[in-house]
Amino acid sequence: MTALYDVVVAHRRSQTLDDAFTHRLYLWLVDLDELPRLPGIAFRGADHLGRPDRSIRENLDAFLAASGRPRPAQVLMLAHPRTLGYVFNPITLYWCHDDAGALTAVVAEVHNTYGGRHHYLLDVDDAGRARVDKAFYVSPFFPVDGEYRMKVPEPGESLAATVVLRRPDEAGGLTTAFVATMHGTRRPVTTRAVVRSLLRHPFVTQRVALAIRRRGISLWARGLPVIPRTAADVDRGLGQIESEEAGSRA
């Protein structure tokens, strides 16, 4: 089930200021019960939402249980691994399946550049579409309001995912403020393929984090006002897990 995807990511903001950029990278699709073990590459629970002493699977199971969902028979995760000691995942996607292989839920885990993390539980339709209220500070130029429209069908030979942020407008409705897309093609995981990806995209997650910060500086220099963040915006996700676990026991 493990696979690599060569991916093109595109971002476009259209509210207040028009701005767009693209970059190329690669992502891993892995089974959380059969994580690959390769020199210099690691998938660690501490790099994702939840308690750092748990595995990724244990933390995801805890989140789903706190949300009243059964433990999936299989979970596929699309993400960057920790490579050469560093990782940054703006978004990690999890596809949860039951014993019959049917998709039961999709989870989107969002990270900001301040160390904050948040899980969104998505009830998707047959096309992989879902709507969820925005509940987490990501960009310093957008407040925590509006909603996300996501399209996250399970990847096969190709990968196609879209995240649209819709925010309040002057007419009292919602308008598209930001669109992010990922398009990719699948490759099997071989030693040659992994080395090729490392050479074609060296320090890939460092470059992603740097590109986000550089874009932020550019937008600020163009006059876009910064929205202040709070202490909750740099929470590593423990508060969300613990509050939902407490609620499930009440």
Q: What is the pLDDT of residue 20?
A: 84
Q: What is the pLDDT of residue 242?
A: 56
Q: What tens-digit pLDDT sequence spans the chain (250 residues)?
A: 799 999 999 999 887 777 888 899 999 999 999 999 888 899 999 999 899 999 999 999 999 999 999 999 999 999 999 998 899 999 999 999 999 999 999 999 999 988 889 999 999 999 999 999 999 999 888 889 999 999 999 999 999 999 999 999 888 889 999 999 999 999 999 999 999 998 999 999 898 888 888 888 888 888 888 888 877 666 655 555 555 555 555 5
Q: What is the pLDDT of residue 15?
A: 72
How far is residue 167's CA from residue 152's CA, in Å, rounded to a whole number?
Answer: 20
SS3 221: helix
Residue 138 near residue 127, CB atoms below 8 Å: no
Q: Which of 47, 35, 85, 61 is nearest to 237 (CA)?
A: 47
Predicted model pTM: 0.90
How far is residue 43's CA from residue 36's CA, in Å, rounded to a whole number?
Answer: 8
Q: What is the pLDDT of residue 245?
A: 54
Q: What is the pLDDT of residue 58?
A: 96
Strands (E), the chain: 3-13, 19-31, 41-42, 74-79, 82-83, 91-97, 103-111, 117-122, 129-133, 147-151, 158-168, 174-188
